[in-house]
Structure 1
């Protein structure tokens, strides 16, 4: 008697590959909706920055001026003062938000922002060196600031060994720890350099070190716009590699990714975004640190687009508050962002667990 044929095994459900994490449609919709709301808020804040102040500018007159009509007094206020300031705040917030999110995602640490690991201080030190030894300003100051940020990042990379393949966690932890040490040394250097300046120059340097949008011009708008136009496509190309890199060095190498080169490219994009913006606005404290975690809390998952929008909201809100909420006293935007960031940093340090920004 012939035995009955064995039943065929049921087909196994296909598993997603190592680089493809299934995404919930609900979370994607939540992220898209949150980004849309953030975009509307950004536009509203840009309008508020142009209209609010002393004197108030009526909306219809502002639109006429932007449309090309010349209105005595109003044209200067809108086109030469408030509108370039609003656009610089918008672009600076985007750049800081993206820079901080790159660092936090790559190093898997919510504290790994340019403010904390020394990149911002490196850019500031470059500017103060230019003021102390070369008495430069304007374009030369811009290049010294950029050079200071880049050299600081290269120093941290070299000491932390981020250019060598190895255990991801070890490299990431070393990068953060080395960055904190470098930041402490740079802070002491900046303080020493300030003592070499004349009283007036030291006052100007201190005002710049706080971070302010008061000197915003259309030339500075162009600088930030060109930087973002060049760096955003580069970042878009690197984000898929960043997702693979999050799987760990061994897995990423097995998938054909050049791990050290990818890590260095991502860090340099983040550094240039931060240093260029510091050169234009001064070091607006904690914007890069705040944007990524706030975006993650709002959307339920990391999002570069939302982080950029949150960074813009923070800078615009800080500038509007500093200009309008303290009577006759006008506070630089950096004072407001510093006041917001310090308690947020302490709150994050007291949390027992935190799932750092991922992909």
Structure 2
């Protein structure tokens, strides 16, 4: 059991068998401190709390809520009644850890959750993309099967492997009932888990991890959804291009479908050189400057082509030496001599008859 006297959000109870980790409710930054929001950068909404209208305290129509920005304490006119400080106040839905069948630990709803409701924040260590790559390789080298790294922005990731919140236990599903959303909280970008639909108590929480597959071994998906993609990352472009089997008649990668460079300034259009037959193995696209694109069939069973760039040297036309052509006179064949070549008299007479009607 982990306790913290400073923050009530840090009081959690872990069931037996859970791999130890440091529970946190706010991201920790590797190499820098939390940003200090400048007063000029504070987003102030126009909400005014009316006790007779509870929905007036920074809810759906609040300008900050619309832009996924939490209100800053001391600047919101709704004061303590502001309902747009869920990340800061750890206003999490009630959840519970449980052991799944074949998928490790998972997180289920311990109360009824409404569609759009904030469930929990995904917390961890904020690291650079370079550090994320190093850690992923280190985890794999040490045989660590469960790593919890998600993307924060183009250059940073959140690693909840050693430090994190219970959001790290939410499993992937191809038919999820939750989704991730990015919010700006006191100048920092933070990731929250929100309900996509109404979730009943006792239901497992899941969201789509949106795996990006960059090669290597394929990992089977065990979510069990009716629309399961079978493999993790199967929806990514890299996975589909690598594993797609081109059907007969698919001409997307034939030379005729390669876009040719065309410009009004060119003296002539590009020329396609090749045999043009069905058994053609190599085709070369030549433009007016002599640069080429060479398309050759790959060694796979797929009907795809490897495209390589280069230039082919221009060969000068080889001139043959001039030779004198001898004039030959046609020899006249004597009919009588030709007729003697036949064995029978009838044949010799017939030849003579046709030559001299």
TM-score range, shorter chain: under 0.3
Higher relative contact order structure (alpha carbons within 8 Å, sequence separation ≥ 6)? 1
TM-score by length of 1: 0.21
Larger Rg: 2
Bigger share in helix: 1
